[in-house]
Structure 1
Amino acid sequence: MWEPNRIQVLGGCVRRARHRPHRPVHREHRYSVREGQCLLQRSQRGRYVPRAVLMDLEPGTMDSIRAGPYGQIFRPDNFVFGQSGAGNNWAKGHYTEGAELIDSVLDVVRKEAENCDCLQGFQVCHSLGGGTGSGMGTLLISKIREEFPDRMMLTFSVFPSPKVSDTVVEPYNATLSVHQLVENADECMVLDNEALYDICFRTLKLTTPSYCGHV
């Protein structure tokens, strides 16, 4: 059975989306136990929990997720976070604050990998505009590649765009991340916030796009 270990790196725009990617997955697979084993694992109490590790360099994100309606579906031990944040700085996420937290994240990743009957690969969801998703996200990808060189690495990487940019350094963070993805990722799904906004406005006719899961 294919059991990929899904890892979410929460930072930047992915942090604002929070736990929403798991909502449709959770709804889909509660009716199909066999397919659900791919991204969900059955606990001793018979409850299905995501094969996910959630990480960030500041605690606010994790607090908001745990307080949300879907916060209870994740394992409490799989929330790994720092206290200072990366300040939209790739180097802080990759070399300083992120480097201090990376061992704790890898411990949880190993635990999740050991719980898989047949681990085929990893999925990393991150933003390349902020410091956590770009700096620490690419650091995590390289560490996983070193430890699991024969497993597939798939990323969902949100690239910054001028119209929906939060800070002027986002292009620099993305540029510093690209070569890491080229070296360590087998597949990279490029997501563009500006294109998603255009879909909302022109196709879905939404006047105020939000993160409430229209797709």
Structure 2
Amino acid sequence: MSVLVHVGQCGNQVGDAFWSLVADATTTLPAHAATTDNAGSGRPPRTGKGGALTVFHRFYFHPTSHMARCVLVDSEPKVIRAIIHSEDKAGRQAFKPAHAHYEQSGRGNNWAMGYNFQRFQLNVLPSSAAKPFAGMDDDRMELIDLVMESLRKEIEAVDVYEGAVVTHSLGGGTGAGLGCRVIERMRDSYPKTYVVTTSVAPSMACGDTPLQNYNAVFTLACLQEHVDCVVLKDNDDLLRTALQWKNNAKEGDSPTEASSSRVSLQDLNYLVASDLAGLLFPRKSGGRVERCWIGDLVHDLCPLRTAKFIDVRTGINVKRQAISMKHGGKHKGVRLRSSIPVNPADMDNSTDQLVKLGRRTFQSFPRILVGSGGHLGCRFVTRYDAAVLKDVDEGRLTDAIGYLGAPPVPWTDNPIRRVETATSAAPFETHGGIAAMTVAMNNGHGVSCIRHFRERAQRQFQAKAYTHWYHQYGIEDDKFQEAFEQCANVIADYEDLLR
């Protein structure tokens, strides 16, 4: 099992959207679903306990309190307070307040402050330019220590701890700086477990802060050194995707909905959460529910430690009458990406419908990739409602989808390309979904993002722009050079592997 850690405003908002999807799934999957945890052990399989307490509760919630198995951390209270005061559909508190940690001061959109600054102790990295702060050498616990203590308790509450999934941003002070500190401590404390991150890059066209280039470079260097797999999401790409399906007015939309082209932060958060859910949600196959093993994910998509940045896209088929359906939970106004409007009465060839969905999902990937456009690893996950899409030929579906992916790199004769199919009550049923296809690929898509931030940050560094904000928190010039070199190595490795 894994524990989710949400850091910073972006990480917590994405996490909130993800847990909303988990809550929706618990109302659609059948109860008493057996898991594969005890396969071959001679013991009876564990079962859910009535109603909405499905297998999702075993994977994502505490068995007694029914609260989410996660840790929330931010340096400001606004976002976390709104999240922990929310309730699930049964009227219970959804998040454990004891595992939600926040301060009042913020981190000033400064990676160095987020990483190095401590309220009650000396800073992590000493510096001749560091200013003394009142209250040093206090016995009270720092924010990072509170987070690690909550993580320890969450880990001790699970049967088998595989690793952690961290959601955060690259451009802020808390998500980037404090997020890196959390990741380093996790790697030091649990060196034999996996760390997977969902990292959201700031806009490359118009950012919020002049420090975002430095912040992104420092964070990318940290991820390359300490993380096993990085799901890199580009804010500009998310915006383009959201605008595309927002502007595609579908049949049944009201004139107000059809003419609206504004994209909210909730839309972007929901896109990231749906991709993450498509990758991590359990799959029901052959009457048994199989979890997503993080080790298999890393093995399939990141076979080399020098290339660990992957891209994930999810396409969803919805019923024709549900295309304009709104999300009924906290994320009102958010609509799913409807790749293909489907009339349930027009299902003569369900297999072809799923193949078409896979083709459309794969086509959403950027066309301009590194080198020849090959990939180091690829995984397709298909979920469909067996009550609507009947008589699916899973063998033909697996063969057809397996040929949709980009060509493998020429230096490997046996490329890793896993195709998984699963039935469920209905994927994203509360949104009208009848089928979903998630494609995860290590194709070098993140190289352009890494190159952009590195080049911009280097130009700023050569002009000594804003470096004093980092010096006062212990980040000297040699740390800048190390981060630039680490990012340059990532770019060079991908160009060499995918040429």
Alignment TM-score > 0.5, same fold: yes
Q: 2:195 matched to 1:153?
A: yes
Q: 2:215 matched to 1:173?
A: yes
Q: 2:40 matched to 1:19?
A: no
Gap runs ≥5 in structure 1 = none
Q: TM-score under structure 2 normalisation?
A: 0.40
Q: Which moved more, 1:158-167 or 1:26-35?
A: 26-35
Alpha-carbon spacing, 1:40–1:166, altered in 2? closer, same or farther (3 Å): same
The superposition leaves residues 134-191 of structure 1 with CA deviations (integer Å, 9 ceiling, x where unpaired) of 0000110010011111111000000112335221211110101111101110000001
**1:208 alignment partner in structure 2:** 262
Alpha-carbon spacing, 1:164–1:116, altered in 2? closer, same or farther (3 Å): farther
Quote the offset at 1:101 in angstroms.
1.3
Count of residue pairs the alignment pairs up: 209
Aligned with 1:54 (options 50, 59, 72): 72
Alpha-carbon spacing, 1:27–1:52, altered in 2? closer, same or farther (3 Å): same
Aligned with 1:79 (options 94, 100, 120): 100
Query: Counterparts in 2 of 1:125-204, with a 5 A limit?
Result: 125-163=167-205, 165-204=207-246
Gap runs ≥5 in structure 2 = 32-53, 125-141, 248-259, 267-330, 337-499
**Cα distance between partner residues in 2 of 1:208 and 1:18:** 22
Quote the offset at 1:35 in angstroms.
4.1
Q: Report the AA paired with residue 14 of structure 1.
A: G
The superposition leaves residues 82-109 of structure 1 with CA deviations (integer Å, 9 ceiling, x where unpaired) of 2211010101110014863101110000
Q: 2:112 matched to 1:94?
A: no
**Cα distance between partner residues in 1 of 2:208 and 2:84:** 25
Is contact 2:12–2:167 with CA below 8 Å preserved after alignment? no
**Cα distance between partner residues in 1 of 2:20 and 2:231:** 20
Q: Where in structure 1 do 4 or more consecutive aligned residues deviate above 6 Å? A: none
Q: TM-score under structure 1 normalisation?
A: 0.89
Q: 2:8 matched to 1:10?
A: yes
Q: Report the AA paired with residue 85 of structure 1.
A: G
**Cα distance between partner residues in 2 of 1:85 and 1:97:** 12
- % of aligned pairs identical? 31
**Cα distance between partner residues in 1 of 2:206 and 2:242:** 14
Is contact 2:87–2:94 with CA below 8 Å preserved after alignment? no
Q: Report the AA paired with residue 184 of structure 2.
A: S
Query: Which has the larger share of helix?
Result: 1
**Cα distance between partner residues in 2 of 1:82 and 1:118:** 32
**Cα distance between partner residues in 1 of 2:215 and 2:191:** 25
Residue aligned with 1:153, SS: strand
Higher relative contact order structure (alpha carbons within 8 Å, sequence separation ≥ 6): 1
Q: Which moved more, 1:196-205 or 1:96-105?
A: 96-105
Is contact 2:101–2:147 with CA below 8 Å preserved after alignment? yes
**2:60 alignment partner in structure 1:** 39
**Cα distance between partner residues in 2 of 1:164 and 1:40:** 38
**Cα distance between partner residues in 1 of 2:13 and 2:20:** 15
**Cα distance between partner residues in 1 of 2:232 and 2:76:** 25
Q: Report the AA paired with residue 192 of structure 2.
A: D
Q: Report the AA paired with residue 150 of structure 1.
A: K
Alpha-carbon spacing, 1:24–1:164, altered in 2? closer, same or farther (3 Å): farther
Is contact 2:170–2:200 with CA below 8 Å preserved after alignment? yes
Residue aligned with 1:191, SS: strand
Q: Which moved more, 1:205-214 or 1:63-72?
A: 63-72
